Structures are given as C-alpha cells and as structure tokens.
Amino acid sequence: MPPGDFKVLDPSTHQVIFVHPKIKNSHQAVLSAWQRQAQGWQRLYFVSAVIGRNGLALPGEKKEGDGKTPSGIYPLGPAFGYAAVLDTGLEYRQATDSDFWVDDVRSMQYNQWVNGQPQAGSFERMRRADNLYQYGIVIGYNTQPIVPGAGSAIFMHVWRRYDSSTAGCVAINQRNLRKILRWLNAKEKPVIMME
C-alpha cells in the first residue's frame, strides 16, 4: 500500500520517490520508488538512503546550513552528472569545472546553478573531486519563488556510505541511483516526497 499522503498528489504525477527516516531525527532513511498504474500505485523497489545529519526539517522550517533535509513534496529534475550524456528520461545537464551552485544568501544568484564564476561569496562546485555528484537529480526545493536563507542546493546524489549523512540532500549508492535515473521520465511528472 502506498503512503496515505499520495492522495494529495496531482493526477498528472505518475512517479514518486518516497523518503522516510528510519527513526525520528535520524540521517538513515528508506527510499522507495512508486509508479502509478491503472490499478493504483505500485512500489517498484526500496533501498537504503541517507539524508541531512540533523534529519528532516518540518514544512517551512528549513534554513540554510541547518543540516536538515526539507520535508514536503517537490518536483524532480533536471538530472545532472559528469558524463556528456546519461541514460535517463529526465532533462539532463552535464556538470563541468565551470559549473557552480550558489548558497550565499546575499547573492542574487542564491539557490541557482551558475556557469562561470558566481557573483557570490559562497558556492559549491557541481563537478566535485569526491564524485558525489557524478550522478544526481535536482530536487525542486525553494525554487519558485526562491526565498533567501530557506535552503539551497538540495539534490539526490551518490552517497559516501550508509553511515555518512548529507548536509541536507538525499543520497543513495551509485548503482541504485543509476537505476532510478533510468526509470524516471519527465513526462510522468515525477516528484519526491519526504516525510
């Protein structure tokens, strides 16, 4: 049975990634993938995941730098990674050494992907040396509108390992992430639900 909250989803949404901490305030979580079928929602698989080091932020309480993953329902995409092309049904953007994501709350580019030197005092590289962003998906949190200080750079990406938390993203192992990327399709209006 799908989580009861699926009833609030838009009828056009046919794919859901559902993320739930194993215990309250834990960074260890379970991620499940759901597809809407003619007979209802079907769970395709579930895998281990990690979230922010301080667990989930309640709706409306996420703040920049708090180490929490925002709870709620958000659109997925585009996908991103280091390769020129990627096997996914999502829009895809290659991350190069010239790509950055701005987390400076004072910048006009806050919570945006920027190509070229950002006009900001703080940002992160989209092509990381540790390969955590070798495969990833942008989670559409705090994007329309962008609220300065409400949190930035929320992605689904490759984890370091199961016992290592994130700064606020959702992370899983590389093999499972590639499987999800192949499954997701922008035409299915995919979302992520975190609660």
In single-letter form, the type of residue at position 150 comes to A
Taking only the tens place, the pLDDT of each residue in 157-170 is 999 999 999 999 99
**CA gap 87, 102 in Å, rounded:** 27
Q: What is the pTM of this model?
A: 0.96
Ramachandran assignment for 179, one of left (phi > 0), alpha (psi -120 to 50 degrees), beta (any other): alpha
Are 46 and 22 in contact, with CB atoms under 8 Å apart?
Answer: no
Give CA torsion, residues 110, 15, 163, 68, to 10 deg: 40
Taking only the tens place, the pLDDT of each residue in 150-160 is 999 999 999 99
The values of phi and psi at residue 7, to 5°, are: -60, -25
pLDDT at 189 (0 to 100) = 98
CA-based radius of gyration for the chain: 16
